[in-house]
């Protein structure tokens, strides 16, 4: 803003410095009432801070009241997010248009494949136009309308092209072509055609709002038309009857197309047509999308938004809730509601007549309102009979509201064209001037550019189409091609006809009821519910914003809304305070000037260590320190800075140690006296590091400065007299049994297991002080601290014998409770044990996440796979062990135990007796019973024949 209000700023070739025109700048600030941004978090936050008072400084734009969202981007989210909720729709979109191996991308990015495709298009196309470009490149709104539509219209050409690639090539393109041919089916083809119809409707909505001079009054009407069309097509099933991509695809699939892919014979289409069940399955998915699309429209274009209220100024047709819209406008703009309604009812019929007259002269809605207000205000008699003072203020807000940032987006494109890669090393002022000249050039305007182009053409090549006789069709508008005629099979004619059919289908569509999602249980998934929840949260935030802009009516303000507004304000204040604190800390770490150091010190205490200074000068220094709001202290531990002769070169070694430990500011006296320019050195606080300083009482007693730190206590033994032990997912708690066998003095603080048999065993055999049934649901207040913590979560989620669902398995997800315990209690030693399968590639992110989490919590981590057969156990049992030692307790290098040798199974079993014979069982009834049960299991499991 200051740059725009500056004169001679960075003027090329001028030595005169620029200056700010303060009056213009203040006028600019005062006149800003509305700002339009994208929905990006940084842009929304910056806009809120521009009109917020929580920053503690003067607002940049004191009269800014309305923060608007770009409607073109908002309309794009109607398809971009809901389509991702259905896996089938997402897969269809990826395979047909958006994915790397899609048929549209294959043709788009290869000139050779494009040439082959064009040849097949001439034989099998549904339209006469030969397609040479699928428009499959990603751009601003990620439109899939063109690639989807062209893939559907030229489906047979796509199939033939992929078959040619399989036969003629042996590269990645052939692989993608084969995969696409095997994937293609009747259901995918019908679903792609429905997506093409939906994408074309959505693109109409987006393009209607992707203009810089977007009329706010037309938004509500455009939304109603869009909803009517998608409801008629996909809720009522008119897409099967009306002309469009779906109807064309059904006609195309009425004849079978058979092709061979390797050894597989594939066929799309049938002489009997696509089965009704397949059509209904595709339609159900689109009905679920319609439900999400309408929920997205309600969140992106809320009815309580002021811009929606401007729909009452639409002269093409009146909305049923005109008085409600006027009440909302009066409340938001601080106008008299009764006068506004009365003046609107008086002027509106005249504005409609003016609109009908000006429409013949290429007039628009806003021009008609401006013209009728000018007519009624031009004469005193008309002003007295038809007052428009309140209505004029409402219309001013209506005219200045901009719902699109298309001009800014287009400016970015023009600037990128002008400031190319060769100018990246230019000065900022040079780049600023280049961008300004580029954007101010009127030749980018089509109305100014085309006449210039005609003149240049006539000068260089002469006047085109020079005839001796007068043409009878000169000046007559050329009629469009007839969509139903023989020459009307172009793609443009197809789209026009499709849009007319969609408009006629939705003309009389009712929007009173919502889409019934209970009938969509087959296609409605958890992703749909998650998207609904996300949209409800967005509506909640937008409602709070509408409350701040005073666009809500009295009956729309609820106690829950007031609580949400208070929570939002507190969060904004907290975030701003955290941002300021972080900025000060960053400045303190990176270095700053003496004034910034004084501002950071605030009203703290200063310790004086100045030696070579006379008494009067010392008194003046103390007064200067007091003027800055600081106090001189004689207790070093209370100080935040030290004033010394040579910062960084303290003569007293004790002060040097204390300064390093406490992270002092070492400042010269000139920081406080004179003009404030002096040396200021900020030391990093060594006490913030997790280190241990051991000082005996005999050493600390004579050193007063060390005792003044207040952080030295009596020395304690390195190893506790009794080790406090705790475990989760205990099972039999073999770790506790091992401690008892090693005769380590320990106390079992707690253990946990969800299995009732393990619980009875643990309570009976080990008798812990506390027992937890479930790690994930236990309260932090019930947790006990320990020195050694062992957790061994269930291994089925990572074992090769299990389903290997990882953290998606609730049994493995309970491991998060263990890390919450480690975060709260910080045990000195942490031990994790699980199967070797957790080290496989699929679960490497889990293992890396565990390592990173433990390191972040202050642990030194080791990992290793140990085999029990190397420790004289007659069993091959490979397990991963993770050992974490708290950094403050880490004294010496950790070493894994060395192997103790192998042990055969024969060493464990009883020695062979001469009386042993085959089939003979030990004495007693139990061995015979066990053998009988084992035999029955073998025969029932069909391992042996009975």
- Cβ distance 776 to 793 under 8 Å? no
Q: What is the dihedral of CA 459, 463, 464, 470, to 10 degrees?
A: 170
Closest CA to 678 of 652, 640, 644, 650: 644
Q: Give the 3-state secondary structure of residue 21.
A: coil
Q: Which two tokens stand for residue 437?
A: 């000249």
Sequence-distant (6+) residues with CB within 8 A of 758 are 730, 731, 732
What does the DSSP assignment read for 712-726?
A: ------SS-SSEEEE
Closest CA to 191 of 222, 221, 161, 148: 148
Beta-strand relationship, 264-268 and 641-644: unpaired
CA distance 390 to 338: 10
Distance of alpha carbon 324 from its chain centroid, rounded? Answer: 35
- Cβ distance 388 to 370 under 8 Å? no
- Cβ distance 89 to 285 under 8 Å? yes
Element containing residue 608 per DSSP (H, E): strand 605-609
CA distance 547 to 556: 9
Strands, DSSP E only, in 236-335?
257-261, 264-268
Q: CA-CA distances (angstroms) from residue 723 to 119, 591, 650, 783, 789? A: 81, 46, 45, 17, 11
Closest CA to 247 of 159, 157, 153: 153
Residues paired with 772 in a beta bridge: 752
CA distance 661 to 655: 10
Q: Tell me whether residue 391 is exposed, middle or buried, using C-beta atoms within 10 angstroms of its C-beta: 0 to 12, 13 to 18, 19 or more.
A: buried
CA distance 696 to 346: 93
Helix 491-505 vs helix 219-230: crossing angle, to nearest 10: 90
Q: CA-CA distances (angstroms) from residue 169 to 25, 174, 176? A: 66, 6, 11
Total count of residues recorded for the chain? 946
Backbone angles phi, psi at 897, to 5 degrees: -65, 140
Residue entry with tokens 């990015």? 109
- Helices (H), ranges, 646-755: 653-662, 697-700, 704-708, 734-741
Sequence-distant (6+) residues with CB within 8 A of 229 are 201, 502, 503, 505, 506, 509
- Cβ distance 403 to 68 under 8 Å? yes
Spell 137-167 as b/e; 16+ CB within 10 A means b: eeeebebbbbbbbbbbbbbbbbbbbbbbbbe
Closest CA to 35 of 26, 24, 46: 46
- How many helices (H) and strands (E) the chain has is answered by 37, 18
- Cβ distance 725 to 736 under 8 Å? yes
For 292, other C-beta atoms within 10 Å of its C-beta total: 24
CA distance 400 to 380: 27
CA distance 28 to 35: 13
Q: Which two tokens stand for residue 914?
A: 């001469």
Please identify every residue annotated as catalytic: 795
Strands, DSSP E only, in 407-488?
none
Q: Give the 3-state secondary structure of residue 519.
A: helix
Q: Give the 3-state secondary structure of residue 427.
A: coil
């Amino acid at each position: 803003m200051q740059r725009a209000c500056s004169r001679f700023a960075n003027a090329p070739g001028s030595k005169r410095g620029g200056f700010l025109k303060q009056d213009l700048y203040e006028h600019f600030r005062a006149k800003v009432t509305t700002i339009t941004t994208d929905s990006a978090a940084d842009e929304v936050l910056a806009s809120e801070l521009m009109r917020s008072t929580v920053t503690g400084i003067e607002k940049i734009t004191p009269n800014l009241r309305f923060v608007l969202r770009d409607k073109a981007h908002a309309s794009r989210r109607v398809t971009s997010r809901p389509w991702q909720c259905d896996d089938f729709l997402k897969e269809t979109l990826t395979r047909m248009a958006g994915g790397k191996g899609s048929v549209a991308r294959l043709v788009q990015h290869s000139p050779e494949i494009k040439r082959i495709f064009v040849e097949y298009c001439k034989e099998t196309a549904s339209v006469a136009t030969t397609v040479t470009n699928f428009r499959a490149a990603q751009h601003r709104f990620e439109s899939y309308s063109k690639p989807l539509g062209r893939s559907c219209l030229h489906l047979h050409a796509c199939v033939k092209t992929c078959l040619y690639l399989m036969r003629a090539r042996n590269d990645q393109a052939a692989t993608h072509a084969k995969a696409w041919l095997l994937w293609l089916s009747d259901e995918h083809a019908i679903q792609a055609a429905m997506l093409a119809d939906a994408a074309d409707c959505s693109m109409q909505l987006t393009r209607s709002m992707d203009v810089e001079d977007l009329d706010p009054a037309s938004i509500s009407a455009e939304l109603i038309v869009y909803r009517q069309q998608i409801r008629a097509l996909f809720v009522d099933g008119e897409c099967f009857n009306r002309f469009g991509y779906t109807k064309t695809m059904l006609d195309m699939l009425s004849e079978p197309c058979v092709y061979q892919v390797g050894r597989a014979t594939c066929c799309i289409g049938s002489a009997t047509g696509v089965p009704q069940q397949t059509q209904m399955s595709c339609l159900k998915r689109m009905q679920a999308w319609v439900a999400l699309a309408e929920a997205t429209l309600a969140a992106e274009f809320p009815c309580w938004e002021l811009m929606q209220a401007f729909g009452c100024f639409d002269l093409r047709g009146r909305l049923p809730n005109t008085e409600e819209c006027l009440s909302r406008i009066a409340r938001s703009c601080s106008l008299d509601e009764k006068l506004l309604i009365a003046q609107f009812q008086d002027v509106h019929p005249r504005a409609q007549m003016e609109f009908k007259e000006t429409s013949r002269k290429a007039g628009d809605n806003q021009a008609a309102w401006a013209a009728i207000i000018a007519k009624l205000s031009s004469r005193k008699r008309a002003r007295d009979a038809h007052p428009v003072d309140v209505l004029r203020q409402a219309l001013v807000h209506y005219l200045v509201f901009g719902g699109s940032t298309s001009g800014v987006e287009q400016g970015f494109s023009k600037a990128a064209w002008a400031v190319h890669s060769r100018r990246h090393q230019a000065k900022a002022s040079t780049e600023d001037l280049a961008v300004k000249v580029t954007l101010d050039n009127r030749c980018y305007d089509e109305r100014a550019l085309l006449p210039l182009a005609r003149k240049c053409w006539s000068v260089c090549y002469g006047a085109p189409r020079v005839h001796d006789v007068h043409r009878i069709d000169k000046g007559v508008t050329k009629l469009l091609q007839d969509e139903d005629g023989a020459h009307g099979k172009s793609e443009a004619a197809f789209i026009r006809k499709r849009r007319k059919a969609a408009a006629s289908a939705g003309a009389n569509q009712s929007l009173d009821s919502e889409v019934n999602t209970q009938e969509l249980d087959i296609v409605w998934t958890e992703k749909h519910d998650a998207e609904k929840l996300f949209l409800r949260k967005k509506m909640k935030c937008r409602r709070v914003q509408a409350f701040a802009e005073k666009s809500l009516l009295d009956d729309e303000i609820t106690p829950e809304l007031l609580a949400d507004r208070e929570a939002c304000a507190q969060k904004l204040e907290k975030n701003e305070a955290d941002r300021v604190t972080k900025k000060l800390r960053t400045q303190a770490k990176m270095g700053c000037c003496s004034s910034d150091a004084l501002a950071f010190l605030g009203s703290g205490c200063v310790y004086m260590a100045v030696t070579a200074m006379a008494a009067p000068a010392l008194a003046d220094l103390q007064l200067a320190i007091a003027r800055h709001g600081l106090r001189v202290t004689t207790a070093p531990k209370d100080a935040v800075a030290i004033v010394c002769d040579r910062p960084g070169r303290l003569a007293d070694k004790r002060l040097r140690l204390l300064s390093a430990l406490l992270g002092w500011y070492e400042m010269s006296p000139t920081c406080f006296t004179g003009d404030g320019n002096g040396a200021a050195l900020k030391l990093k606080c060594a006490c913030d590091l997790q280190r241990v300083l051991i000082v005996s009482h005999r050493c600390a007693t004579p050193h007063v400065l060390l005792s003044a730190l207040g952080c030295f206590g009596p020395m304690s033994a390195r190893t506790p007299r009794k080790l406090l032990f705790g475990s989760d997912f205990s099972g039999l708690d073999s770790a506790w049994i091992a401690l008892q066998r090693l005769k380590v003095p320990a106390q079992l603080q707690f253990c946990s297991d969800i299995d009732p048999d393990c619980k009875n065993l643990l309570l009976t055999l080990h008798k812990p002080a506390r027992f937890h049934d479930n790690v994930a649901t236990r309260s932090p207040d019930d947790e006990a601290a320990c020195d050694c913590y062992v957790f061994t979560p269930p291994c089925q989620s990572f074992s090769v014998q299990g389903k290997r669902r990882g953290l998606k398995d609730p049994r493995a997800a309970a491991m998060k409770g263990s890390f919450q315990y480690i975060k709260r209690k910080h045990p000195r030693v942490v031990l994790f044990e699980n199967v070797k399968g957790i080290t496989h590639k699929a679960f490497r992110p889990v293992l890396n996440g565990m390592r990173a989490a433990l390191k972040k919590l202050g642990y030194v981590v080791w990992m290793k796979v140990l085999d029990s057969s190397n420790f004289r156990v007659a069993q091959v049992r490979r397990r991963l062990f993770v050992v974490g030692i708290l950094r403050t307790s880490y004294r010496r290098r950790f070493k894994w135990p060395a192997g103790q040798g192998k042990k055969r199974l024969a060493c464990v079993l009883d020695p062979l007796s001469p009386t042993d014979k085959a089939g003979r069982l030990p004495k007693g009834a139990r061995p015979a019973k066990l053998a009988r049960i084992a035999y029955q299991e073998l025969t029932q499991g069909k391992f042996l024949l009975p």
